Structure 1
């Protein structure tokens, strides 16, 4: 039996983050999202730099969440269709903003980054890096297929757990065309967000458990898979009790079938 779905992964002391599970007949794949260059030989890049111009209506076409108050950098949480951020080809939901016009904002609070972007002028150069293990509490969508609802946040204090789109958000009546300076400096490079293997758990002679270590208490809607060589999946947190049961039944079935064929 094969099965694919999105869950949360608790890996050590880190905040839970979204992963994709893919169950094949003999292996459980745990995948995380990353941004890679797909022009020629695929490769990963820690940082990307893009320069975009603010549109008269619609701004930069992106929204942000997070900040130093949550021990994470500010990240891009929404990207509007046919707007500056999307058309640059270099910005993705989940990108952490590291610098704005050369200003290091890695350790800035949410409102501080909002103010820097608001005062950045008509053109802004962003240095970004994809935050592969974005904490689940940010509730970032897994893809760019989301529209930013028009909002007016030109006054007041923004919230690090809500999308701040002041002069950054999408406006459906915008008719500006993309200027040449909005395109990447290296037009030959093309970037994509993809699911990449994080951990592979062979199922032959493996086992799974819902119990908390040293107790007879079960985790709620969560489990871990341990390979015969001791490699552990980490704590997989399902979105519902029904989803958890489905995953456990599918994994148990595949382990059982492998055992029968190897006796």
Structure 2
């Protein structure tokens, strides 16, 4: 592998593919597609559909699928993540090595953008020998959420904090923030906050045909979001969601 392309593909809508991303996909000798188990088979299917749409009939000839290693969540969180990244880098290396003829340009299709709460760049840094890495930016879940709700990301002149559910659960509302975007929150950490004065905008399967969006004051919308999440997960077998919260600003 001479060059590795990490290509942002948006949040599941093939129309999110930029011209730059499409050109990189067409130019790749090999495209790696992770399999994340039967419950998330839709994610692999969407990647295949994007490749077929961009590359045409020969798409399947340039695709190599691999089983994504499972992270050990039994011990220290950070140590478990680092070990998991090592394992994924090893699978990438083995999958590329098994390809014939040997590919010079390899691509991975990354949900959202490779730079925002995604580990592909950290995993790529573990590859040896190190390939040239090219990053193609993509539409993020944050952009898709704001577009779906027709809201700006920030209030006028006000800061925004992008964080995780774990951080909200462990440390509460980020100090100094008027707006908080929570990513990677499978536990719905908004439940740990005092809801007074907080409005929430939530979305799942953003950009997809299955898209669901809800919003309102946290005290009322929070329970509805919890119920909707469980129903959606049961229906689809997996869930990908994100939310934005904003505290009411006092006006003088």
- TM-score, scaled to structure 2: 0.29
Task: Look at both structures and tell me which one has the larger radius of gyration over its CA atoms.
Answer: 1
Q: Quick one: higher RCO (CA 8 Å, sep 6+), 1 or 2?
A: 1
